[in-house]
Structure 1
């Protein structure tokens, strides 16, 4: 099936990555119908560099938006989600999203290998219940597989089937990618990592501390057991500092009784995450 692909890229202070970002998109054999880059208050020359860029030959249209509606440092929470969504809004204002189109996020520090989008498109062709997919993430620098679970669909280089996006949407807030995936699964969609599609990215937590991810897990409704397992995974890989920061984030938010996700369906989804994982590993339904 010849699917249209639309991409939203949030970008702030990525001058060192722009060449590689454009090269990775140009290296795709699947055409990109529309690529929207939302530059947000860069101070390192990214804005000026993007103004000099033209669309790669396989991109039908490139739009660069210069937004500076919010101040402050890099953040992965609601601010990040609003920037991503600004790109989605621009796309949807210019096209009518078809049910079998593919729309997604390409972070400025995520670099898909050649054939990435063709491989994902084939996966959507082969599974009509597949709503969200990403490839396998490899951390920049050491070339190791990401410490995320191998079946975790990464938000930084993912695609939605058009029908899934229309039904389940993109949720703006802390952990937007995680919340959006949960909403899609609750709506009956599947989400899978396509192992043959590979992209390379900064290790999660390089720009924002793991404490953020710990507090986000508390916000979502993940249990303390989940947080301890996550912390143990960092420690097992020799990342004791990351483990400490993650657990500080989770248990600090718990101690301070910070706000939690209000949606009861989503809260229940995250509260049951560990049990679902155990059942899957044991082959239980």
Structure 2
């Protein structure tokens, strides 16, 4: 963050009961010169178990709520997430800020994602706005909010698009992050896709993509998560518009592809 070439008004770090020395390290850190205010919240509000779903979303939302208590979030302010394992290039926030200035309908954005360690482009869609290093326009956040639940970043992006906002990956800047699924296995993501309302055809396409990259095991885990819940008719997202949004994902992608042709 200290290397960023864009000033940061307020940075909230939510330290949630870490036992790896993070709390002690943060206590000894000085505030970067490009950060006006640094707030560290040492709160062990959850169990010590790692969980990517609602627990993660509640911790992220705790940071958002802290910012809102300390400043009036304006329509053209930018607010975002930076996971501790995501590392943006120095021009990251200045590039995103310029993209928001250029497009008044841009509600959510991130740079392009590389897998940390290998610097390989993420196998996920090139236009997928990663949740771990994304920014919201203030008005988009105020209108569409941040949805707490499994795959909160995906749900929040869907809500913003339903409300008429655009979500885009911005060229010209990169960030490196732990590859999705290295800690919370692909079975979780398959179950999350079922919960959201994605179709079996969508799950099979995801499986095919994993196989195409030589990752049959990950693809199998993804299908096991999806169809495990599908066969037992596990509960799905109660928000009907959001569920329909994910149910029409494939047809929407095809329509967008042809509209660009």
Corresponding residue SS for 2:148: coil
TM, length-normalised to structure 2: 0.98
State how far apart, in whole Å, the 1-side matches of 2:260 and 2:36 are. 46
State how far apart, in whole Å, the 2-side matches of 1:284 and 1:199 are. 27
Shift of 1:160: 0.3
Q: Gapped runs of 5+ residues in structure 2?
A: none
In the TM superposition, what are the counterparts of 1:44-55 in structure 2 within 5 Å? 44-55=20-31
Q: Which of 197, 201, 205 lines up with 1:221 in the alignment?
A: 197
Q: Which of 125, 131, 141 lines up with 2:117 in the alignment?
A: 141
Q: Which of 213, 216, 224 lines up with 1:237 in the alignment?
A: 213
Asked if 1:85 is matched to 2:61, the reply is yes
Q: Gapped runs of 5+ residues in structure 1?
A: 1-24
Corresponding residue SS for 2:121: coil
Shift of 1:185: 0.4
Aligned partners of 1:210 and 1:249 also within 8 Å: yes
CA RMSD after TM alignment: 1.1
State how far apart, in whole Å, the 2-side matches of 1:206 and 1:253 are. 21
Aligned partners of 2:113 and 2:121 also within 8 Å: yes
Q: Which of 227, 236, 240 lines up with 1:260 in the alignment?
A: 236
Asked if 1:189 is matched to 2:170, the reply is no
Runs of 4+ that moved beyond 4 A? none
Q: Which of 95, 105, 129 lines up with 1:129 in the alignment?
A: 105
1:27 corresponds in structure 2 to 3
Aligned partners of 1:54 and 1:62 also within 8 Å: no
Corresponding residue SS for 2:242: helix
In the TM superposition, what are the counterparts of 1:1-285 in structure 2 within 5 Å? 25-283=1-259
Shift of 1:58: 0.6
Corresponding residue SS for 1:283: helix
State how far apart, in whole Å, the 1-side matches of 2:49 and 2:186 are. 16
1:13 corresponds in structure 2 to none
Aligned partners of 1:103 and 1:160 also within 8 Å: yes
Aligned partners of 2:17 and 2:48 also within 8 Å: no
1:15 corresponds in structure 2 to none
State how far apart, in whole Å, the 2-side matches of 1:227 and 1:102 are. 34
